[in-house]
Amino acid sequence: MVELKAQSPFADLLPLKVGSMTVEERDLGRLTVLGGFASAAGLSETLEAAHGVTLPKPLQSTQKDNTRCLWFCQNEVLLVGPAPDETLANHAALVDVSDGWAAAELQGPGAEDVLARLVPVDLRSATFKPGQTLRSQLREITASITRTDAGFLLLVYRSMAGTLVQELRRAMEAVASRR
């Protein structure tokens, strides 16, 4: 009988360093979509009581220690880190998507220039501040992009992890060659 073993979605692809820029895999813990909620106030109160974070406004994220809550789309957020408290089910549908997503962080001088080549959204620090988040296309890949204090947290479907690294490598090499 074949024995299956869990593998990183980035297997031997990361870490990646080009010039002064790096991409490293991030283990975010559990990823749970909270969706279909009718009362944002009730969900926010329960989130704060259970996990110390509030429901983020559109295009924002909230964080306390290793727990994050990312705006994902209208009436949908992503709880990052802990397993969700059972009381959240009284306010929203809870879906564990941990195995479906891959997370990496792009850092270093030039990271904004790399994403400018790949994303049709202005992610410069003047317009996209730490804690802001959005869903967009990263070339042909659907991605969640969150600005952190250190760089950009990128979440893509697990099946797109290799393509993400390929696109980032090309853009990083192009940016590094111009410096």
Q: What pLDDT does 38 receive?
A: 81
36-47 average pLDDT score: 92
Q: For 55-92, what is each residue's pLDDT tens digit?
A: 999 999 999 999 999 999 999 999 999 999 999 999 99
Q: What pLDDT does 6 receive?
A: 82
pTM of the model: 0.95
Q: What pLDDT does 175 receive?
A: 98
Phi-psi region of 59 (alpha: psi -120 to 50; beta: other; left: phi over 0): left
Cα 129 from Cα 161, distance rounded (Å) = 25
Domains and CATH numbers, the chain: 19-27+99-177 (3.30.1360.120), 30-98 (3.30.70.1520)
Q: What pLDDT does 1 receive?
A: 84
Q: For 117-132, what is each residue's pLDDT tens digit?
A: 999 999 999 999 999 9
Distance (Å) of CA 51 to CA 45, 76, 77, 88: 10, 17, 14, 10
Q: For 74-83, what is each residue's pLDDT tens digit?
A: 999 999 999 9
Cα 61 from Cα 128, distance rounded (Å) = 12
Q: What pLDDT does 20 receive?
A: 96
